[in-house]
Amino acid sequence: MVLAVSSLDHFIHVTIEEGILEMYQGVRSSTPSFEEFHITMSNVKYALNNPSDISWVRDQIRKNLGYKSYQKSESIAGALKLISSKKIWDEVEIIMGSAKAQITLELDLIIERRNKIAHEADLDPTYPNKRWPINRSMVNDAVSHIEKICESIFQVVT
């Protein structure tokens, strides 16, 4: 479950990075959030002196966003505004054929459980030294849900 959530976070980071690069290159329509994306003056100077080299764009994206976590539904929707003006969860709802409230609730519960595993040793505080129950089916369901979300987001933003 921890690895699946890490994969989701990585997927969102890479999707945003590629989308921003496509916008910078003029291959993709820009968004209001893209237009407000901050770049350093050192990168402005570099870009002016090296117009054919766009490696600085990727570096700037990673500098600006690399420390951010894109796991919870709200943070994912906010992040994807950089590359899409669509209401992500409305679109995902259509693709997945489930109510967005259910999709996002299930995702956020998976993230909450992941955080218990990763940060609290998955211990139930009401029963000291006892772990929260987990089984293969719960993990498979979580991984499947995350996969469906990623596939749906990919369809929406590409």
- Render 25-39 in DSSP notation, one character per residue: TTSS---HHHHT---
pLDDT at 70: 98
pLDDT at 112: 96
- The radius of gyration computed from the CA coordinates of the chain, to the nearest angstrom, equals 18
E-strand ranges in 2-157 read none
CB 19 within 8 A of CB 157: yes
CB 10 within 8 A of CB 76: no
pLDDT at 72: 97
pLDDT at 127: 86
- pLDDT means per 10 residues, the chain with 158 residues, are 97 98 96 96 96 95 96 98 97 98 98 95 88 95 98 97
Total structural domains in the chain?
Answer: 1
Copy the structure tokens of residue 46.
């570099």
* Lookup result for tokens 């030294």: 129
pLDDT at 4: 97
Distance, CA of 124 to CA of 53 (rounded, Å): 52
Range of the domain at 124: 2-157
Distance, CA of 154 to CA of 158 (rounded, Å): 6
